[in-house]
């Protein structure tokens, strides 16, 4: 086995991945830098004797037939994989430390892994009319589910003054969305505060940029790279959205020894969730983890299975909560309930029965006594 640990570490290699390899087994470990219709660009450390430690070679690899058929993990950008010695084929995908997923767009009820092994998720929002706290809330739920640490980037801070926006106030309102969340106002155009991004990552750590089209993801990437790797397109004056040029997800090595992935072209971001051990279903506790204010209030609802819609004695609807935040919470709850029904028909029946009982307190179970 070929294993120059110190250099692979620069790509994010750690004992978490090393411990998954069978000692003595042949194979070359590498990281998937991009994926395109079943072809994968994989970074591997070449023979140490011929090139410097920090050089990597990129191999264009496919996937073995057995991996294809086995239903084992399918490679996603950011994955650590094992290549067959002497052939550019991926034999195996190593278990992931984190995984950023969404539901496949449109009607398909399948998980789509957008990015694997991301340490920090930069949630990018523009300060122009793209600014939308509800979308940030949704990305925060995705980040929570992924295991990556979310950091909100408020881009286009240079426009704040012209738009008479109170930057401090906006930062404060985002900090309200999630306890302890970092919010960084930046301007990719004027380079303001851009140096705060690498500071969020340790050596060899990986970040990803997520956000609507037009918020400035590729501008941020290009600025940090120091050169243009992806075409930035002119914004249509009407809606501030750049046209789609790239739709591939790709990993970049950044100056200062960290990695950054762009996640362009995500028009539709529907939640995907996998059940936690001991959970009643896929959606159990998922949203509550990101809405601790609602969870704290819900402890005081009269009914344990309160849906916070029309029940008497509901502590959530009775509270002084931003109605838009509650509506967004309930919307995502419905989305997860639908996912639950589609992925688990048995549980789905129960959920449906419970859903039908809304507004009929007789079917609810009071918390104490009875
Ligand atoms: P992406 O779709 O998220 O990758 O967004 P782009 O990087 O393509 O940027 C969309 C548009 O916003 C481009 O016209 C950029 O020049 C512009 N833009 C990006 N960052 C900034 C910024 O900090 N300030 C201003 N005023 N415009 C920006
Ligand atoms: Zn309630």
pLDDT in the model for residue 283: 75
What pLDDT, on the 0 to 100 scale, is given for residue 47?
Answer: 60
Residue nearest ligand 1's atom 18 by CA: 216
When mean pLDDT is compared over 10-19, 46-55, 129-138, 262-271, the highest value belongs to 10-19
Closest CA to 355 of 283, 257, 251: 283
Question: What is the percentage of the chain residues whose pLDDT exceeds 90?
Answer: 57
Q: How far does residue 220's CA lie from ligand 1's centre (Å)?
A: 8
pLDDT at 362: 41
The Cα-based distances of 36 to 28, 76, 115, 318 in angstroms read 21, 10, 13, 50
Rounded to the nearest angstrom, the distance between the alpha carbon of 61 and the centre of ligand 2 is: 52
CA dist., res. 350 & res. 340, Å (int) = 10
Torsion of CA 70, 75, 81, 83, to 10 degrees: 70
* Distance in angstroms (rounded) separating the CA atoms of residues 97 and 105: 24
- By mean pLDDT, which of 160-174, 177-191, 281-295 is the weakest? 281-295
Cα dist from 329 to 151, 320, 321, 343, whole Å: 20, 15, 11, 21
Structure tokens at 268: 């539709």
Q: Which of 242, 250, 262 to mutate to test the pocket of ligand 1 (most atoms within 8 A of CB)?
A: 242
**Tell me: the pLDDT tens digits for 51-91?**
455 678 899 999 988 888 888 899 999 999 999 988 899 99
Q: Which atom of ligand 1 is nearest to the CA of 235?
A: 14
More confident residue, 366 or 101: 101
247, 218 Cβ separation under 8 angstroms: no
C-alpha 335/C-alpha 102 separation (Å) is 12
Which residue's CA lies nearest to atom 5 of ligand 1?
216
Give every CB contact of residue 178 below 8 A, 6+ residues apart in sequence. Answer: 140, 150, 290, 292
What rounded mean pLDDT belongs to the chain? 84
- 187 pocket-lining for ligand 1 (C-beta < 6 Å): yes
Q: How far is CA 198 from the centre of its chain?
A: 18
Higher per-residue pLDDT: 279 or 323? 323
Residues with CB under 5 A from ligand 2 (ion): 301, 306, 308, 314, 316
| Pocket flag, ligand 1, residue 215 (CB < 6 Å) | yes
Task: Average the pLDDT over 14-42 and give the result.
Answer: 91
Question: pLDDT tens for residues 222-280?
Answer: 999 987 775 444 333 334 444 444 457 899 999 999 999 999 878 878 999 887 777 77
Are 93 and 40 in contact by the 8 Å Cβ rule? The answer is no
| Residues 334, 336: Cα–Cα separation, whole Å | 5
Domains plus CATH for the chain? 6-93 (2.40.50.140), 99-262 (3.40.50.300), 282-359 (1.10.40.50)
- Burial of residue 238 (number of CB atoms within 10 Å: 0-12, 13-18, 19+): exposed
Q: Which residue has the tokens 């949704």?
A: 138
Residue of the nearest CA to atom 6 in ligand 1?
216
Q: What atom of ligand 1 comes closest to residue 232's alpha carbon?
A: 8
192 lines ligand 1 (CB under 6 A): no
Instruction: Report which ligand 1 atom has the smallest distance to the Cα of 155.
Output: 23
d(CA 218, CA 264): 8
CB 66 within 8 A of CB 27: no
pLDDT at 196 over 70: yes
State in Å: Cα 19 to ligand 2 middle: 45
Distance from Cα 275 to the centre of ligand 2, integer Å:
23
Atom of ligand 1 nearest to the CA of 124: 3
Specify the pLDDT at position 348.
46
| Pocket of ligand 1 contains residue 189 by CB under 6 Å | yes
Q: Which two tokens stand for residue 365?
A: 């179970």
Q: Whose CA is nearest to atom 22 of ligand 1?
A: 156
The per-residue DSSP string of 198-224 comes to GGGS-TT-EEEEE--TTSSHHHHHHHH
Closest-approaching ligand to the CA atom of 156: 1
């Amino acid at each position: 086995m070929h294993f120059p640990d110190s250099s692979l570490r620069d790509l994010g290699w750690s004992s978490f991945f090393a411990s998954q390899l069978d000692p003595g087994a042949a194979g070359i470990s590498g990281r998937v830098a991009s994926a395109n219709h079943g072809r994968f660009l994989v970074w591997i450390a070449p023979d140490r004797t011929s090139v410097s430690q920090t050089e990597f070679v990129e191999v264009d690899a496919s996937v073995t037939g057995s991996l294809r058929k086995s239903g084992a993990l399918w490679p996603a950008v950011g994955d650590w994989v094992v290549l067959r010695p002497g052939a550019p084929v991926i034999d195996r995908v190593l278990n992931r430390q984190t995984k950023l997923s969404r539901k496949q767009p449109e009607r398909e009820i399948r998980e789509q892994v957008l990015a694997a092994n991301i340490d920090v998720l930069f949630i990018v929002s523009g300060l122009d009319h793209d600014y939308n706290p509800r979308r940030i809330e949704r990305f925060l739920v995705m980040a929570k589910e992924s295991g990556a640490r979310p950091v909100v980037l408020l881009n286009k801070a240079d426009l704040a003054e012209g738009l008479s926006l109170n930057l401090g106030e906006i930062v404060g309102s985002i900090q309200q969305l999630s306890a302890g969340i970092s919010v960084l106002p930046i301007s990719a155009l004027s380079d303001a505060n851009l140096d705060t991004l690498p500071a969020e990552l340790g050596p060899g750590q990986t970040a990803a940029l997520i956000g609507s089209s037009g918020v400035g993801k590729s501008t941020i990437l290009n600025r940090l790279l120091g050169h243009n790797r992806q075409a930035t397109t002119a914004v249509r004056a009407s809606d501030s959205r750049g046209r789609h040029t790239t739709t591939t997800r790709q990993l970049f090595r950044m100056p200062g020894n960290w990695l950054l992935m762009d996640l362009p072209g995500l028009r539709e971001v529907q939640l995907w969730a996998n059940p936690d051990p001991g959970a009643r279903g896929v959606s159990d506790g998922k949203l509550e983890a990101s809405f601790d204010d609602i969870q704290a209030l819900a402890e005081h609802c009269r009914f344990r299975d309160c849906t916070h819609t029309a029940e008497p004695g509901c502590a959530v609807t009775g509270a002084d909560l931003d109605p838009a935040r509650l509506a967004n919470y309930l919307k995502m709850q419905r989305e997860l309930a639908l996912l639950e029904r589609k992925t688990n028909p048995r549980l789905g029946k129960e959920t449906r029965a419970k859903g039908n009982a809304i507004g009929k307190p007789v079917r609810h179970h009071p918390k104490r006594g009875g």
